[in-house]
Amino acid sequence: MRHSPETWLIVALSAFTLTGVLAMKSMKLSQGPEVVVVGEPLGPVLIEAAPSDAAAWFLRVRQFCNPVEIESRLRMNPSPATPEGTMHEAACYALAGRIDDARRLITRLPEDQRFRAAGVVFEAGHPAADAGDDVAAGPLMELVVEFWPNHYMALYHAGAARYELGAHAPAKDYLERFLAEYTPEDGWRTSAKGMLRAIEDGR
C-alpha cells in the first residue's frame, strides 16, 4: 500500500516529537529530581556558602565579633562542628569582650587541646595589643595565659595592661613571669624591666 507524501511527513514529525520528549525525560532523570518550592519565605533568608574550615569561617565572621552583633551572627552562621571550630568561636567571643563565654568554650575541649585554643585566641587579639592598646587586649591576654601559662607574649601584654590600669600586684606577677620565659635582650625586655622598676619605685 502506497502512502501519500503528506502521510510520510506526519509520521516523521510524530517520530521526531516522540524522540524529543524521550530525550528531555532522560535529561531530567540524569539531572536529579526537580525542586518544588511551596509558598513564599516568611522573611529574609540568609544564604551563605559553607566555610572550608574553621579559619575561613573566622575570617568571614570576625567583623561581627563585637558585643552588639556576635549573638545574631553566630546564630545565622555557626562555627564548624569541630575542635578547631570551637577554638575560633572562642576567639570571636574573646574579641567581643565575652571572656566567660570564651572560657566556657575552651573548657569544653579535651585538656590537651586547650593550649591550642589559647593560641588561636592570642592570634586573634594580638594585633590590637601590638598596636599599643594593651588595656583593651588585657582580658583576652589573661585568658590566653590561663590556658597557656608560659606564653611569653601574652604574659607581657597582660602585664602591660595591668600596669596601665594601676593594678601593680598582678602586673608584677605577669611581667616577672614574662622575663623568666623571654631571654633576648631587646625592646620587650627593656619595656618589661622599666615597668617593674616603676612598680618598685611606687610610680
Residue 7 falls inside a structural domain: no
Can you tell me which residue has the cell 631571654?
A: 183
Average pLDDT over residues 11-19: 40
Same domain, 91 and 153: no
Say yes or no to pLDDT of 175 above 70: yes
Residue-level length of the chain: 203
pLDDT at residue number 151: 97
> Which domain-ending residue is among 117, 139, 161?
139
% of the chain beyond a pLDDT of 70: 74
Residues 130 and 59 in one domain: yes
Please, what is the angle between helix 168-181 and helix 152-164, to 10°?
Answer: 160
Q: Is 49's pLDDT higher than 90? A: no
Task: Compute the distance between CA of residue 203 and CA of residue 185 in angstroms, rounded to an integer.
Answer: 24
pLDDT recorded at residue 55: 94
Residue 18 has pLDDT above 80, yes or no: no
Verify that 199 and 165 share a domain, yes or no: yes
The answer on 128 and 64 residing in a single domain is: yes
> Is there a single domain that holds both residue 191 and residue 113?
no
Confidence band for 124, pLDDT divided at 50, 70 and 90: very high
Residues 134 and 157 in one domain: no
Q: Which residue has the higher pLDDT, 135 or 32?
A: 135
CA 24 to chain centre: 45
Query: Does the pTM of the predicted model rise above 0.85?
Result: no
Domain end point (choices 84, 111, 139)? 139
Interval 178-203 mean pLDDT: 95
Report the alpha-carbon distance of residue 43 to residue 174 in Å, rounded. Answer: 51
Q: Which CA distances in Å does 154 have to 2, 23, 91, 128, 144?
A: 98, 66, 14, 12, 6
More confident residue, 145 or 130: 145
Within a domain: 11: no
Position 90 in a domain:
yes
Alpha carbons within 13 A on the beta-carbon side of 185: 0
- Determine, yes or no, domain membership for 97: yes
pLDDT for the residue numbered 90: 98
Contact 105, 86 (CB under 8 A): yes
pLDDT beyond 60 at 15? no
pLDDT for the residue 202: 82
Do 160 and 121 share a domain, yes or no? no
DSSP string, the chain: ----HHHHHHHHHHHHHHHHHHHHHHHHHHH-PPP---S--SS-----PPPSSHHHHHHHHGGG-STTTHHHHHHHSPPPSSHHHHHHHHHHHHHTT-HHHHHHHHHHS-GGGHHHHHHHHHHHHHHHHHTT-HHHHHHHHHHHHHHSTT-HHHHHHHHHHHHHTT-HHHHHHHHHHHHHH----SHHHHHHHHHHHHHHTT-
* 197 and 130 within one domain: no
158: domain range? 149-203
Q: Which amino acid is at 151?
A: H
Q: 131 and 182: one domain?
A: no
Identify which of 173, 172, 181, 132 has the alpha carbon closest to the alpha carbon of residue 153.
Answer: 181
Residue after which a domain boundary falls, among 139, 158, 187: 139
The answer to whether residue 16 sits within a structural domain is: no
Do 57 and 117 fall into the same domain? yes
pLDDT over 60 at 44, yes or no: no
**Number of domains composing the chain:** 2
**135 and 59 part of one domain:** yes
Q: Residues 160, 102: one domain? A: no
Phi and psi angles of residue 72, each rounded to the nearest 5 degrees, phi first: -65, -40
